[in-house]
Amino acid sequence: MSRILITSALPYINGIKHLGNLVGSQLPADLYARYVRARGHEVMFICATDEHGTPAELAAAKAGEPVEAYCARMHKEQSELAKGFRLSFDHYGRSSSERNRRLTQHFAGKLAENGYIEEVTEKQVFSKADDRFLPDRYIEGTCPNCGYERARGDQCENCTKQLDPTDLINPRSAISGSTDLEVRETKHLYLRQSLLKDKIDAWIDSQTGWPILTTSIAKKWLHDGDGLQDRGITRDLKWGVPVRRGCQPWPGMEDKVFYVWFDAPIEYIAATAEWADAHDLPDTAWHRWWRTDKGAEDVRYVQFMGKDNVPFHTLSFPATIMGSEEPWKLVDYIKSFNYLNYDGGQFSTSQGRGVFMDDALALLPADYWRWWLLSHAPENADSEFTWENFQQSVNKDLADVLGNFVSRITKFCRSKFGEALPEGGETGERAQELIEELETRTRAYEAHMEAMEIRKAATELRAIWVAGNEYLQSAAPWSVFKEDPESAAAITRLGLNLVRLYAILSEPFIPDAAATMLDAMKAEDRTWPGPIAEALTALPAGHAFETPEVLFAKIADEDREEWQMRFAGVRA
């Protein structure tokens, strides 16, 4: 048994997240966490709300709430939605926690002590209308790289290029919309990433198994143009982690906070400490997950994120850890994703476009969304959500293949043998062929899950479901029963064991349906299957079961058309 640390990119606190956010980090992280738990590994699955910086301040102002109250409310809402989608976090923290405040200040102090922070007098945009400096995300304008007209002052969400506010064409205040801006001098702290470039480059080169998307983005930032640049880690804001050097004040920085992209990744560590606090464990219990001098050298650390977060997790956060010169755990594998687009356009939190997590759960149970999103995960290229494709996938994969199989075999058994696995008979050659196919496919499914090849895993899982349907159709126990009831009993017994097997294999993708299937089969042993021949005899003759309700209802054309019209515009 191994210990596996899993972190998902932190969702911003500024509103409910859309399905593109969900499939870009939290949902695939949950899939992997559920799988490795099922294989017997010790897992720590961590996430948190990212609560500092401009998005929080702007959203709170729009809502007419103090920023602290707004963040507390939205953390609760996001936590509930995460539970609704069955995201199995061991802890869902908050970057505004006291633990993160202290750790962020600790890292800053260590970086300064080791010569990796310098004070820089720089020019920043000042809005006369707002009477304040405008940190990066308070400024919008046209991206000089791709021409996107709503680029932010820190990064263009269209092409992912990292920007400075002064790079933008036709900049304007995101607060007031004013273009009456001027550049003034202000002093900030910079993380001297350039001094760590060679070390980071060598570390990335050593990660031979990383996805191409991850390494290509990291290498582009390291080597294109002027290479890895020093980066400001403070901002002229009130809401955030106050700038301190460990426990000591930082002269000249009294009215500043740390940049959200400096403190947010540190919350991965802080949230693990919060987990220990929540379980009344010793203060250092979390060290075994994060300190390589306390046992974390044996931990496999996996991160999940969208491609826009890759530069900060391959460069800036590692620079923070390396520059501290302390024995903190570095990530072993970064699973990154492209974008999920929406029905001919883009999902957008800022523009309220697309299906959001609360809307989705109000329409259909979580498993419907989980299956479609994971089976269409944007791993190697951007993918697109369309209502037609969603309807087709739910109706064919979930209702016609898996749901239909469970319904047919349980109802047939109940009608002919009662609600207990029937005795007698031999299954024959067809069953042996099925066992051999499922053995091959299950091991392939496991290999794809281990490699975090999500779409391939979904394809293999569906093929496993199809194999059972084809066997049942070919073996036709309803026809055999007329001439040979014992053979029909053996086929039926195998089919009911398939329900248990399918539930266990499917649980990472569709946990609610899996639980319904296992409960219906009254399966006490829910461990991951070894040899398939053994798994298909786990429920013996005489074992009682229940006939479950319809697992998956089909989506009607009129419902799909109504939803397509309802979500065609901008979310209120």
84 pLDDT above the threshold of 80: yes
Residue corresponding to tokens 């607060």: 175
The residue with tokens 């199995």 is 88
Choose the CATH number for 3-105+261-365 among 3.40.50.620, 1.10.3720.10, 3.10.450.350, 3.40.50.261. 3.40.50.620
183 pLDDT above the threshold of 90 = no
Domain with CATH 2.170.220.10 in the chain: 114-195+204-249
CA angle 37, 44, 517 (to 5 degrees): 30
User: What is the assigned CATH class of domain 114-195+204-249?
Assistant: mainly beta
C-alpha span between 424 and 439 (Å, rounded): 24
Domain boundaries for CATH 1.10.730.10 within the chain: 386-535
Sheet containing strand 299-306, strands side by side = 91-94, 42-49, 3-8, 299-306, 333-337
Global pTM reads: 0.92
Residues ≥6 apart with Cβ < 8 Å to 541: 420, 421, 422, 423, 424, 493
Mean pLDDT, rounded, for 178-183: 91
- 124-150 mean pLDDT: 88
Question: 213-224 as b/e, with b when 16 or more CB fall inside 10 Å?
Answer: bbbebbeebbee
Length of the chain: 572
3-state secondary structure of 55: helix
488: nearest Cα among 467, 504, 472? 472
Q: Which amino acid is at 359?
A: D
CA distance to 319, 368, 373, 562, per residue, from 360 (Å): 38, 9, 12, 14
Residue 197 pLDDT exceeds 60: yes
Identify the CA nearest to 234 among candidates 186, 184, 196, 181.
186
Report which residue type is found at 114: N
Q: pLDDT value at position 351?
A: 67
Task: Determine the average pLDDT of the residues in 123-131.
Answer: 87
List where CATH 3.40.50.620 sits in the chain.
Answer: 3-105+261-365
Residues 7, 313 contacting (CB under 8 angstroms): no
Check whether 57 has a pLDDT greater than 90: no
Mean pLDDT of all residues in 254-275: 96
- Whether residue 539 contacts residue 500, with contact meaning beta carbons closer than 8 Å, is answered with yes
- pLDDT interval class at 354 (50, 70, 90): confident
Q: What is the pLDDT of residue 346?
A: 82
Residue listed under structure tokens 């650390």:
301
Angle between helix axes 317-324 and 98-113 (nearest 10 degrees) is 60
The fold adopted by the segment(s) 386-535 is Isoleucyl-tRNA Synthetase; Domain 1 (1.10.730)
The beta strands (E) that lie in 379-484 are given as 383-385
Label residue 522 left, alpha or beta by phi (over 0 means left) and psi (-120 to 50 means alpha). Answer: left
* Residue 158: predicted pLDDT: 87
- Interacting residues of 146 by C-beta distance below 8 A, sequence separation 6+: 156, 158, 159, 161
How high is the pLDDT of residue 227?
82
pLDDT of residue 570: 61
Query: Which pLDDT score, from 0 to 100, does residue 202 have?
Result: 96
Tens-place pLDDT, residues 198-234: 999 999 999 989 999 999 999 999 998 778 999 999 9
Separation of alpha carbons 78 and 57, rounded Å: 17
**352: confidence class by pLDDT, cuts 50, 70, 90:** low
Amino acid at 450: E
What pLDDT, on a 0 to 100 scale, did the predictor assign at position 572? 52
* Percent of all residues in the chain with a pLDDT value above 90, rounded to a whole number: 83
Binned at pLDDT 50, 70 and 90, residue 238 comes out as: confident
Q: What is the pLDDT of residue 90?
A: 98
144-150-155-156 Cα dihedral, nearest 10 degrees: -70
Ranges 57-61, 132-136, 295-299: which has the least confidence: 132-136
Q: Is 247 annotated to bind ligand?
A: no
Q: Give the model confidence (pLDDT) of 304-332 as tens digits.
A: 999 999 999 999 999 999 999 999 999 99
The per-residue pLDDT for range 517-571, each reduced to its tens digit, is 999 999 999 999 999 999 999 999 999 999 999 999 999 999 999 998 888 766 5
pLDDT (tens digit, 9 = 90+) per residue, 101-120? 999 999 999 999 999 999 99
Mean pLDDT of all residues in 175-181: 90
Give me the torsion for CA of 348, 351, 355, 361, rounded to 10°.
110
Scored b (16 or more CB within 10 A) or e, 401-435 reads bbbbbbbbbbebbeeebeebbbeebebeeebeebb
Q: What is the pLDDT of residues 459-488, one digit of tens each?
A: 999 999 999 999 999 999 999 999 999 999
Q: How confident is residue 372, by pLDDT bands cut at 50, 70 and 90?
A: very high
Any known ligand binding at 413? no
- Position 366 scores a pLDDT of 98
Residue 420 has pLDDT above 70, yes or no: yes
Residue with the two structure tokens 């929540």: 278
In this predicted model, which residue has the larger pLDDT, 434 or 186?
Answer: 434
Percent of residues, the chain, with pLDDT higher than 70 = 99
